[in-house]
């Protein structure tokens, strides 16, 4: 394990790696919709539905790449060590942030986001690194640091993305040039790339290898075999009733929540005369930063006190209900009182912050009591969550594209209503969780 200094020093680097990865995912949130709409319009895709469908495609391709490459990178790290794979991911971030910001076509933007997602599969390698260097008593605290990096990234990323978008107009001065007008979303991408380069430099200088050569695998598994084993694990863990109910509820929650990722800004950015709020990139950045702050406050400080006072099951159910109401209510925010969007945003933020830690804790208890491998179950849950993040934005974008110009029941409200129905199903599933002698202390 090495001395204490060697054990503790890599944690700051790992924290930065995960934070940078999350910034790469979240910094694009405020402007991605506008960016893809501009690229689609430049390619002659003027129909609103067809144009906005591309937003969901680009969002989903990032999650698809993570789903495919996470097990591949994990296998490579088992053979060649954690350090080179983490460094490879940082190099990928540094390059493909810039490529995305310079994109002048939908195909270029799609490829850049896919390759960025592939590089960001190294978050799993960072978790494996923690397992390599930590005593069992240290793992939960250090994994908590990774969770804090997720929350901080979600809080900072959208704010930066909104603040630095379209600098020729929003900042002016030295940015009021033809170049920045041509590449209005390059500046936040450059900012992320610089952060990634700093982390890369720190990793090269101060991040030691955590996996000794004697502990490495001698044979590299094929990518096809790695992906096949994931799907086999997805099927096997669903044989246990309590575990399958919790994982299914999480899948549906993530499904409904990810439907909001693309359509949230499709709605807030839509012209006021068409029923939207007419928000700019910066205004959307503030909203997502607000969502991130709430998540950090609850998961970072309040969740422990809440679980001491209320049962985890009740908190999970309440979180699902609150998040579903928040998302379903979004399209009913009137432009004349657009500040009400913060109430819907607060509901979905609080709901998500309550659901995620309580569901994961209950799944841990259920797995331990069933005698099944915790790593396999948590891996399966991550797999189902990844599938939800792939399918959710695609379905939402498709429904939006088919209904955005509709009338009656079939309008831009429809995808938010569908997300609300998915949350209802998730809620019903959670009531099926039995309070028995195995889970009684946690329920």
DSSP 80-142: H-HHHHHHHHHHHHHHHHHHHHT--SHHHHHHHHHHHHHHGGGHHHHHHHHHHH--HHHHHHH
* Residue intervals in the chain for CATH 1.20.1250.20: 1-207, 224-443
What pLDDT was estimated at residue 137? 61
* Cβ atoms of 317 and 431 closer than 8 Å: yes
Predicted pLDDT at 267:
92
What is the structure's pLDDT at 221?
62
Give pLDDT, residue 384.
85
Residue 27: what pLDDT? Answer: 87
What's 309-323 look like in SS3? HCCHHHHHHHHHHHH
Token couple for 393: 């934005």
pTM: predicted TM-score of the whole model, two decimal places = 0.82
pLDDT of 182 reads 93
Helix (H) or strand (E) holding 33: helix 29-42
**pLDDT value of residue 373:** 67
Residue 438: what pLDDT? 42
Q: In this structure, are residues 247 and 380 in contact, taking their beta carbons and an 8 Å threshold? A: yes
Write out residues in the chain with pLDDT < 50, as ranges: 1-8, 435, 437-443
Whole-number pLDDT of residue 26? 83
Q: What is the CATH number of domain 224-443?
A: 1.20.1250.20
Which tens digits make up the pLDDT trace of 264-281?
999 999 999 888 999 988
Best CATH choice for the domain 1-207 from the list 2.40.50.140, 1.20.1250.20, 3.30.365.10, 1.10.443.10 = 1.20.1250.20
Place of tokens 């390698």: 125
The whole-angstrom separation of Cα 149 and Cα 143 is 10
């Amino acid at each position: 394990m090495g001395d204490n200094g060697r054990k503790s020093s890599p944690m700051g680097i790992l924290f930065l790696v995960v934070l940078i990865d999350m910034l790469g995912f979240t910094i694009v949130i405020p402007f991605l919709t506008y960016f893809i709409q501009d690229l689609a319009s430049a390619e002659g895709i003027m129909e609103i539905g067809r144009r906005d469908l591309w937003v969901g495609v680009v969002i989903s391709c990032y999650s698809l790449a993570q789903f495919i490459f996470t097990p591949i990178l994990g296998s490579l790290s088992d053979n060649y060590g954690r350090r080179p794979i983490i460094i490879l991911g940082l190099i990928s971030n540094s390059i493909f942030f810039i490529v995305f910001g310079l994109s002048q076509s939908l195909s270029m933007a799609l490829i850049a986001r896919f390759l960025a997602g592939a590089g960001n599969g190294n978050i799993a390698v960072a978790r494996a690194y923690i397992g390599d260097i930590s005593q069992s008593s240290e793992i939960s605290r250090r994994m908590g640091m990774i969770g804090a990096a997720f929350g901080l990234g979600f809080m900072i990323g959208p704010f930066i993305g909104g603040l630095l978008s379209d600098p020729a107009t929003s900042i002016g001065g030295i940015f009021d040039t033809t170049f920045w007008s041509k590449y209005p979303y390059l500046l936040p991408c450059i900012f992320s790339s610089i952060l990634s380069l700093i982390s890369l430099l720190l990793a090269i200088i101060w991040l030691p290898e955590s996996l000794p050569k004697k502990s490495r695998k001698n044979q590299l598994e094929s990518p096809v075999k790695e992906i096949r084993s994931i799907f086999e694990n997805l099927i096997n863990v669903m044989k246990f009733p309590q575990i399958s109910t919790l994982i299914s509820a999480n899948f549906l929650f993530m499904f409904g929540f990810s439907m909001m990722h693309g359509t949230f800004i499709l709605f807030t950015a839509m012209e006021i005369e068409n029923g939207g709020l007419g928000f700019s990139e910066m205004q959307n950045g503030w909203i997502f930063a607000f969502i991130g702050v709430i998540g950090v406050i609850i998961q970072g400080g309040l969740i422990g006190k809440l679980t001491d006072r209320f049962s985890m099951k009740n908190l999970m159910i309440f979180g699902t209900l609150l998040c579903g109401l928040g998302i379903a209510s979004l399209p009913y925010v009137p432009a004349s009182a657009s500040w009400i969007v913060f109430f819907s945003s607060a509901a979905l933020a609080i709901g998500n912050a309550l659901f995620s830690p309580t569901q994961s804790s209950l799944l841990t208890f259920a797995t331990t009591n069933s005698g099944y491998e915790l790593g396999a179950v948590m891996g399966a849950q991550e797999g189902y969550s990844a599938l939800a993040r792939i399918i959710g934005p695609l379905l939402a974008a498709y429904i939006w594209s088919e209904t955005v110009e509709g009338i009656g029941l079939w309008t831009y409200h429809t995808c938010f209503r569908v997300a609300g129905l998915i949350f209802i199903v998730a809620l019903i599933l959670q009531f099926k969780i039995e309070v028995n002698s195995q889970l009684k202390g946690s329920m």
